[in-house]
Amino acid sequence: MKQLFFSLLVLVGILACKKDLEVEPTDDNELITTVELVFTDAASVSRSFKFRDIDGDSRTKPEAFDTLQLARNTDYTVAIYIGDESKGSLEDITEDILEESDVHLFVYKPMPASLLSVQITDSDKNGLPIGLKATVKTQYVSGSGVLQLLLKHQPPLNGRTVKTGDEDAGSTDLDLSFPLIVK
């Protein structure tokens, strides 16, 4: 009996000293307070449109939320710049998103779709779209609607790649619906 008790005591001691499993850090979503869309036409004329919500609180009104005003029947190149102003000064996180491009995907959704078409022109190391760069073609008709811009965060899950170029996977870092006027 003493030997069984001693064996159990040793076993409990060994289990108690067992090293805890290391928990891998999570791939957190970005805090985004500032978004700038720069549209450049064929004549190299650029127009900048911004969303700015310094406190990052979606329950309060943003400091700026521009209406996209684009010419009809025009080709544009688009560049997106992303920032975080929650700590008092603007921290450009565009480069961070680019460095982690294999887990980020921008999605452009014009509504109605008849106003413009969007083609993403940049890709990550796996050949999948990123969306920091795109081309936009406005249609012949004038009209108004919205351009919804999503940033999907798609890090690996349980060792499996999540980013496939499809917007359904992952969580959403950004979901903005810019008012849109094509004239």
3-state secondary structure of 147: strand
pTM (2 d.p.): 0.82
Whole-number Å distance between alpha carbons of 75 and 48: 15
- Please, what CATH class does the domain formed by 26-182 belong to? mainly beta
Q: Write phi, then psi, for 149 (nearest 5 degrees).
A: -120, 120
One pLDDT digit (tens) per residue for the chain, 183 residues: 545 444 444 444 444 444 443 334 345 666 899 999 999 999 999 999 999 998 877 788 999 999 999 999 999 999 999 999 988 888 999 999 999 999 999 999 999 999 999 999 999 999 999 999 999 999 998 999 999 999 999 998 888 888 988 888 889 999 999 999 999
Task: List the domain boundaries for the chain.
Answer: 26-182
3-state secondary structure of 16: helix
What are the structure tokens assigned to 125, written together?
């190391």
Q: Write phi, then psi, for 116 (nearest 5 degrees).
A: -160, 160
Whole-number Å distance between alpha carbons of 163 and 143: 34
